[in-house]
A and B are shown apart, each in its own frame.
Chain A
């Protein structure tokens, strides 16, 4: 039941997702990740040299709760590109290894040929709601 009740925190999160082409919700900060999964995801993004916005979910438990409801995804980290949830650490790692992540980020896909054709997840224009 997603009613339209105004929720400032959730709107702020949705706003951050739509305003930043690449944004990572994580535990800790890129300089000081507070969880191994967040650390690994940061390391992958940094290795690709693509600037990204980062939000630390730890200072306020409500951030995590609102984000989970907004994205329909239970775990942290969560990477969004062009307003769409790309995934957490597992998916980001898998996509990095196949070259899909580089493609999604608009970088030269070094090993794009190796990527399975299945679903080249095209970055859709900014949309806050996460259908799927």
Chain B
């Protein structure tokens, strides 16, 4: 069963407290813009890891590719 942008959005928002996500994609390649309060204490690598962690081993498998852009809540206008 292929993943949908809506599913990814919901899982990111459920998996990271206070997160807001915009996800686009075709079922294989996805692009997510994610903002979350906790990102303010993390460098970019750690921010992206937080998003990848939501999906674990599904990234590279069921979710073939997930591009991520992270923002702090105040930047995400």
Binding site for B on A (CB under 8 A): 37, 72-75, 85-91, 94, 119, 121, 132
Chain B residue with the shortest CB-CB distance to A68: B60
In Å, the complex CA distance between A87 and B48 comes to 9
B72 to chain A, nearest CB (A): 9
A73 and B52 contact, Cβ closer than 8 Å, known pairs A89-B67, A90-B69: yes
A124 to chain B, nearest CB (A): 12
Tell me if B59 is interfacial: C-beta within 8 Å of chain A: yes
**A90 & B49 in contact (Cβ 8 Å cutoff):** no
A75 and B60 contact, Cβ closer than 8 Å, known pairs A90-B67, A94-B69: yes
**A74 & B44 in contact (Cβ 8 Å cutoff):** no
In Å, the complex CA distance between A85 and B45 comes to 8
Binding site for A on B (CB under 8 A): 43-46, 48-49, 52, 57, 59-60, 65-69
**Residues of the A chain whose Cβ atoms lie less than 8 Å from the Cβ of B49:** 72-73
In Å, the complex CA distance between A85 and B48 comes to 12
Chain B residue with the shortest CB-CB distance to A95: B44
**B43 & A91 in contact (Cβ 8 Å cutoff):** no
**B44 & A91 in contact (Cβ 8 Å cutoff):** yes
**B67 & A91 in contact (Cβ 8 Å cutoff):** no
25 A/B residue pairs, CB under 8 Å, sorted by A: A37-B65, A73-B49, A73-B52, A74-B57, A74-B59, A74-B60, A75-B52, A75-B59, A75-B60, A75-B65, A75-B66, A85-B45, A87-B44, A87-B45, A87-B48, A88-B48, A89-B67, A90-B67, A91-B48, A94-B44, A94-B69, A121-B43, A121-B44, A132-B45, A132-B46
In Å, the complex CA distance between A76 and B48 comes to 14
**Residues of the B chain whose Cβ atoms lie less than 8 Å from the Cβ of A89:** 67
Q: Give 5 nearest A-B pairs by CB, closest first.
A: A74-B59, A119-B43, A90-B67, A74-B52, A132-B46
